[in-house]
Amino acid sequence: FVLGSASGEVVVPRSLYPGDRTIFYRSTKVGLDTLLDHDKYKHIVRKTKIVCTMGPKCWSEEGIARMLDAGMNIARFNFSHGDHAAHLAVLERLRKVTAEKNSPAGCFLDTKGPEIRTAMLRDHKAIALEAGQPIIVEAVGDRYTEFEGYKTPEETRIGLSYAKLCSSVHPGNMILLADGSISIR
């Protein structure tokens, strides 16, 4: 699907077999109004679910109610942003509104968490790493925007934004960098 302003033609065919309620699309562009127009297409059973990420603009009870009215089936909570207390408050409002509207919705907790960032590199020059090469990883915390990693003939040093690295990682543990494309021990 590509949601956009240019809606494709929606064709509701005669039944291919008893009980069939399939919508065929003659275009890859389907307008949001077509998907959410409950009165026009309420006889068609929707076989997909609508997952909505809960952002600050929809955290109010009114915002949650509008999303449910628009067809939301699953509320996604992105734990990469915000704190647990804020997400809990939204979850409680969601439960209240779904109970009032008698409109159940599932919850999807995306617990990826905050990302750990690597610090900038001196002069913005890439560092070539080789298998088996010693590397020093420094937990620079909030200084990761100021710290500059480097490679000299004597040592290679990079900084990570995770201040508690030294208490979380033990000798022999693997650390994945660059979305897992680089692993170091």
In this model, does residue 113 exceed pLDDT 60? no
Last residue of a domain, one of 62, 77, 110: 110
Q: Which pLDDT band holds residue 10 (cuts at 50, 70, 90)?
A: very low
pLDDT at 151: 92
How far apart are alpha carbons 83 and 88 in whole angstroms? 9
In a domain, 54, yes or no: yes
In this model, does residue 110 exceed pLDDT 50? yes
Are residues 137 and 87 both part of a single domain?
A: no
How far apart are alpha carbons 149 and 120 in whole angstroms? 6
183: left (phi over 0), alpha (psi -120 to 50) or beta: beta
Q: Which pLDDT band holds residue 166 (cuts at 50, 70, 90)?
A: confident
How far apart are alpha carbons 9 and 78 in whole angstroms? 34
How far apart are alpha carbons 68 and 101 in whole angstroms? 9
Give the CB-side neighbour count of residue 7, counting CA atoms within 13 A. Answer: 10
Q: Which two tokens stand for residue 147?
A: 């710290």
Number of domains present in the structure of the chain: 2
Last residue of a domain, one of 59, 87, 110: 110
How far apart are alpha carbons 45 and 53 in whole angstroms? 23
Give the rounded percent of residues in the chain with a pLDDT score beyond 90: 30
Q: Which amino acid, one-letter code, is at 32?
A: L
Which strand (E) or helix (H) includes residue 92?
helix 84-101
pLDDT (tens digit, 9 = 90+) per residue, 68-83? 998 899 999 988 777 8
In a domain, 115, yes or no: no
Q: What is the mean pLDDT of residues 146-151?
A: 90
Report the chain's mean pLDDT, rounded to a whole number: 79
Residue 69 · residue 61 · CB < 8 Å: no
Q: Domain of 58?
A: 2-110
Are residues 100 and 151 both part of a single domain?
A: no
In this model, does residue 43 exceed pLDDT 70? no
